[in-house]
Chains A and B, each alone.
Chain A
Amino acid sequence: MPPDATAPGPVEPEGRARSVTLSIWRGDARGGEFHDYTVTAIEGEVVLDVVHRIQAELAPDLAVRWNCKAGKCGSCSAEIDGKPRLMCMTRMSTLDTTEPITVSPMRAFPVTRDLVTDVSFNFAVAKKIPPFAPGPRAADGNHRMSQFDVDRAQEFHKCIECFLCQDVCHVIRDHEENKPSYAGPRFFVRLAALEMHPLDTVDRRDLIRRELGIGLCNITKCCTEVCPESIHITDNAIIPLKERVVDAAYDPVAWLGRRILRRPRPTPAATAAASSPAARTGEVIVVEAAPRSES
């Protein structure tokens, strides 16, 4: 009989089964605590499989966000044993199951319920970014771009918007007050994609510096480490963006030009950002000639 033609009934799960304990944070905006759940885990399973089994057998109302279960949509972000990760791409076999495995919601965002957080901050930032605007098509109706030129921005287009980089970024992780003046790594990646898009014509450098707070990032690379798509966020997106912004803002010739033409001085938003607590470390100005590659 083919697999699809057997009579309905209990199906023997393939693979070896064992007992595991997950310690899952449960609660809401008012507070909560960890609850231990002990269930079966089967060979090859990921954390999200075990969370689903807990839902089905022990805690039907356990709130968790997920969609594709294939690492492509970025919905099931959480902190597993304290590390920001996708639950669907974290295999149980890679974790130490002799102790309960802790699963908690992303800390940088307010809790809605259990493992579900309010990530609306990210959608608000997205709205601040001036959209892509291309130059005209060639006479034959095509845009001509070489693969070489497309490669750089394509790396950034791999982003699945899991927001793990936002979660781990210390500028906002425990500093809610910085959110109004800081876009976070995910949106520096998006801005880099626009800046390095071969066809784009918009200059966003002033916005990136003054309102999206690129100077607050002090390149600790925590975002790069947690990216499930292995995007070189710090080296390929943030550092080149800092360089471009700095070139535009501190170029002596441009400075002289502004003095002569009496262009307006910094906006109130930039002044507010400069006086925020996280800005006390100072703007990090990077003057390396080229980004280093990450190992």
Chain B
Amino acid sequence: MAGHESHSVDVLVIGAGGAGLRAAIEAAALGATTAVVCKSLLGKAHTVMAEGGVAAALGNVWPEDNWKVHFRDTMRGGKMLNNWRMAQLHAQEAPDRVLELEDWGALFDRTPDGRILQRDFGGHRFARLAHVGDRTGLEMLRTLQNRAVAADIEVFMECKILRLLADPSGAVCGALGLWRGSGKFVVFCAKAVILATGGIGKAWKFTSNSWESTGDGHALALWAGADLIDMECVQFHPTGMIWPASARGLLVTEGVRGDGGVLKNRDGERFMFSYIPEYYAKETADTIEEADRWYDDKTFRRPPELLPRDEVARAINAEVKAGRGSPHGGVYLDIASRRSPEYIRRRLPSMYKQFKELADVDITTQAMEIGPTCHYMMGGVAVDPETQASTVRGLFAAGEVAGGMHGANRLGGNSLSDLLVFGRRAGIGAVEYARGLSHTPTPDPAAVEAGAADALGFFDHDGGENPYTLHHELQEAMQSLVGIIRTAPELARALELLDEFDGRARLVGVDGHRQFNPAWHLALDLESMLAVARATTLAAIARRESRGGHTRDDFPLADPEHFAKVNMVVRLANGAAEVSERPVAALPDELAALLGEGP
């Protein structure tokens, strides 16, 4: 492309978290020239913050465990909105993907006989999460990073992708990027592009996500004409820090509950026993005595603190609303009174450190104050389960940016296994697609110039909108109007505000020059966040029932007749986002038999 730096590869991977690196490793191993482009430095992606573990039915701790049980837990946790084939492939392939990480140098905690240790987590019938204390994501990301470096995969760091590029037939064949350091543009030409950009949390006020989670991949796919599904299904993790205010939203691993921690209200009551839904009644303990015996004997039923995340987050929300919350508007998470200080420090070292250093709380002697935090986007790019191909030729997606795997609610530990299983599959899918092309597609040069001009436009708006102020207002609006509990009037109000924000976003002004200018970067990220916020709001309006991470106060029940059978699809029509319904793929009988009754 005239005047711009450019690079040509077979496969371009956007995002260097677990899914992106796993995809790149696979593509390179198959002989494709492969490059990874990421917004931050290599090794800083959000995967690094995953704590509790990676779910895989290895059967090391409970030999009764197998892929069928994992499949069942995942589908029921997702309230059956999942793409069944993705859930099946995920459950079947996760153990191999975890063992493979050991071949690449990962060091998981061990069982007494020297195999990979597994821990309990919400919604999983057996202790299933391979882990390294409470820093599993760091171990996985570093392992994949080292493997990618050893494979000589080119990594373009601190580069923001502005637009996907297509050839005249509409097939995606590259991307326009911006070097954050120099402020110069760069064009990537590729036969296939894999999106692995992670989540969307930065559009909400209280989030466990890092600054990068601005929904770039969701927005890029939407603008390129791809379908997004299940965008109404946003996971609010039940346990985020709430005090001090500066730390609000930081993740407190579900491992605290898996390892024996319990939730209590202001009065010291284990309130979760009052919130056991009918759907999980058969498998949930209804007395403290039974719950406490479950940790050592899985013939007892699971404690209600280990219900899936959507159930626990709603219960905490209700408890606070009823006036039984803690001083800063959350509830208590107590492991201090249930496990020894030595055990807590060994199993949860980074939680110990996080509370000690940021909140002056010693979790071996004191309860933590916690509340829900925006954590994970179940929805995303609609993909083919086998190849991760999107509805646009040449474009693939893996990890959090892809939709379907987790349905309406993700189980803890299933994201780290998702990114391994489907990162690998996306790598294979992209290489096979690239090899099937009869010619090398060329991006449209006019699109490059238009994208670059759009990005530079912010420097022309003297005295324009402050991007930090607009971002703050967007976060306030999404938190209060499209949060855990939703209603039709609030969602309608959110759409009005998003219209206003869209207008103001075009008027954002940036001062200074192009080199490492964070105000400019935020102005560009705001475009993605606004697109994702709109997709979520539209889908949330359309789903007039409550299911998983999507709870409507005006439609509090699940609707088995209609909404159980459809996914919400958001796509652009004449430049505007529109929502429509698509039937959920029907489950084959032999898999349906594994599930028990639906919601």
B511 touches A61 (CB 8 A): yes
Chain B, residues 67-105, CB within 8 Å of chain A (1/0): the string is 000000000000000000000000000000001001111
Q: Look across to chain A and name the residue whose beta carbon is closest to the beta carbon of B497.
A: A8
> Number of A-B pairs whose CB atoms are under 8 Å?
201
Instruction: State whether B135 touches A144 (Cβ < 8 A).
Output: no
Whole-angstrom CA separation of A67 from B485 in the bound complex: 28
Q: Are B146 and A132 in contact (CB under 8 A)?
A: yes
List, in ascending order, chain A residues with CB within 8 A of B320's CB: 2-3
Which partner residue on chain B sits nearest A64 by CB separation?
B518
Whether B210 contacts A69 by the Cβ 8 Å rule is yes
Instruction: Name the segment of B353-361, B393-401, B538-546, B583-591 touching the other chain.
Output: B353-361
In A1-44, the 8 Å CB interface with B consists of: 1-9, 11, 13-15, 28, 42-44
**A278 at interface, CB cutoff 8 A:** no
Chain B residues in 8 Å Cβ range of A137: 99, 103
Residues of chain A contacted by B105 (CB below 8 angstroms): 131-132, 134, 194, 197, 200
Contact string against B for A residues 228-262, beta-carbon threshold 8 Å, 1 for contact and 0 otherwise: 00000000000000000000000000000000000
Given contacts A44-B244, A112-B515, A150-B107, contact A89 B357 (CB under 8 A): yes
A127 within 8 A of B: yes
Q: Are A141 and B210 in contact (CB under 8 A)?
A: no
CB within 8 Å of A: which of B247-264? Answer: 247, 250-251
Question: 0/1 per residue, B441-468, Cβ < 8 Å to A?
Answer: 0000000000000000000000000111
In the bound complex, residues from chain A placing their C-beta under 8 Å from that of B511 are: 60-61
Does B46 count as interface, using CB distance less than 8 angstroms? yes
Across-interface contacts of B132 in A (CB, < 8 A) = 154, 157
Inter-subunit contact B109/A68 (CB<8 Å)? no
Query: With a CB–CB cut-off of 8 A, which chain A residues contact B328?
Result: 14
Let me know if A63 and B517 touch, CB within 8 A: yes
CA A126 to CA B520, docked complex, whole Å: 31
Are A142 and B99 in contact, with the CB atoms below 8 A? yes
B150 in complex: contacting residue of A69, A131, A143, CB < 8 Å = A131
In the complex, which residue of chain B has the Cβ closest to the Cβ of A134? B103
Q: Are A73 and B317 in contact (CB under 8 A)?
A: no
What CA separation (Å) do A119 and B150 show in the bound complex?
Answer: 19
**A44:B246 contact, CB within 8 angstroms:** yes
B477 contacts A131, CB within 8 Å? no
Q: Give how many A residues have a beta carbon under 8 Å from the other chain's beta carbons.
A: 72
Interface residues of A in 79-130 (CB under 8 A from B): 89, 91, 112-114, 116, 118-119, 123, 126-127
Known: A14-B243, A67-B210, A73-B44. A160 touches B481 (CB 8 A): no
**Given A45-B244, A145-B110, residue A131 in contact with residue B138 (CB < 8 A):** no
Do A55 and B317 touch (CB < 8 A)?
A: no
B350: chain A residues within 8 A (beta carbon): 71-72
**Contact of A4 with B210 at beta-carbon distance under 8 Å, contacts A89-B358, A116-B516 already known:** no
A45, B138: Cβ atoms under 8 Å? no
Name the B residues within 8 Å of A144 (CB-CB): 113-115
CB-CB under 8 A from B358, the residues of chain A are 44, 46, 89, 91
- Whether a CB of chain A sits under 8 angstroms from the CB of B43 is yes
Closest residue on chain A to residue B104 by CB atoms:
A132
CB of A181 closer than 8 Å to a CB of B: no
A25 to chain B: closest CB distance in Å? 14
CA distance A189 to B152 in the complex (A): 22
Contact present for B245 and A123 (CB under 8 Å): no
A69 to B207, CA, bound (A): 11
Closest to A62 in B: B518
Partner-B contacts on A (CB < 8 A): 1-9, 11, 13-15, 28, 42-46, 49, 55-56, 60-75, 89, 91, 112-114, 116, 118-119, 123, 126-127, 131-132, 134, 137, 141-147, 150, 153-154, 157-161, 194, 197, 199-200
- List 13 A-B residue pairs with CB atoms under 8 Å apart, sorted by A's residue number: A2-B321, A4-B206, A9-B476, A60-B468, A60-B518, A70-B250, A89-B357, A89-B358, A113-B515, A123-B42, A126-B149, A132-B104, A144-B114
